[in-house]
Structure 1
């Protein structure tokens, strides 16, 4: 039996292990990986984030999943689902998101993994709708949203960011169970 919850031709998505902390902290500390977030995260903040991810999995049976490249079993980030921690007119909801090591960008991996997650979310987890959002200036992530078939439904000011932040204006995308 595979250790992976989901497999694509190039990716294995699984629950998190203690050994993921170091490489995940490295990604979260990388200014390129975090360019569309308010700041990078140190190891302690990464550990706190990981605890929240694991709590979501315990509470709901889903979370963002640790992602390995199948060819070398290397941890490269996450793809999956979370419940946003802020209040807005579209929350509570299920959000699909991704954060991958910049060394594997521009290979279609976020799209490949997100498509598998959408199928799993609608088919296995029974979601009726899945949202995704990012800073309007994050065109690469918005492009992934479009490639996986989500439709733009709105823009909004992220309630946890200062209104004058270049990251405050967010695009909101959505897919419905077909």
Structure 2
């Protein structure tokens, strides 16, 4: 059995999912503002299925999309992590990502969790590069990518084959492991 990694920062814990996370996760995924740059909001059943998937991937690999909580209070605020890029996309690699409840926006949590994920990817997994992907208009997420030190090249823009409509056009940010 693989040991599931937990990541800790000054304020956050990235951990395995709990049954108690499903309800707040489903509420987040039903929030149109949280899902603004996704094709649709999710039903409770879809959110619960995604938690089961995240749990399974964490158990199999030891890393993936971790549940994100505020360490001081234990409050579940979303997710952050690393995951192999979807096979349908025109490139490979491992991506970093995050999604937070609206109440957690504006506190620097996404950037803090993102740094922990990048450190884990480079220092523990030995990745040479980590990507971040979002819809072209997602300025909040792009700002986090910039704060993480990731770079954007318009030549990497692509139309996501898994998305229809105006959210299809996507951008890629990259960061390479620092050479000592």
Could you state the TM-score of these two structures normalised by the residue count of structure 2?
A: 0.90
Quote the residue 1:28 is aligned against.
29
Quote the residue 2:6 is aligned against.
5
1:42 CA displacement: 1.0
Quote the residue 1:150 is aligned against.
150
| Alignment pair present for 1:116 and 2:116 | yes
The whole-number CA distance in structure 1 between the counterparts of 2:36 and 2:120 is 29
1:4 CA displacement: 7.8
1:50 CA displacement: 1.4
**Aligned residues, how many?**
173
Quote the residue 2:128 is aligned against.
128
Give ranges in structure 1 of 5+ residues lacking alignment.
none
How do 1:66-81 residues align onto structure 2 when only pairs under 5 Å count?
66-81=67-82
The whole-number CA distance in structure 2 between the counterparts of 1:43 and 1:85 is 23
SS at 2:73's partner residue? coil
Give ranges in structure 2 of 5+ residues lacking alignment.
none
The whole-number CA distance in structure 1 between the counterparts of 2:128 and 2:61 is 15
| Alignment pair present for 1:64 and 2:54 | no
SS at 1:68's partner residue? strand
The whole-number CA distance in structure 2 between the counterparts of 1:108 and 1:101 is 13
1:56 CA displacement: 2.1
Superposed CA RMSD in Å reads: 1.6
Could you state the TM-score of these two structures normalised by the residue count of structure 1?
A: 0.91
Name segments (4+ residues, structure 1) moved above 6 Å. none
How do 1:48-59 residues align onto structure 2 when only pairs under 5 Å count?
48-59=49-60
The whole-number CA distance in structure 1 between the counterparts of 2:62 and 2:73 is 27
1:102 CA displacement: 0.4
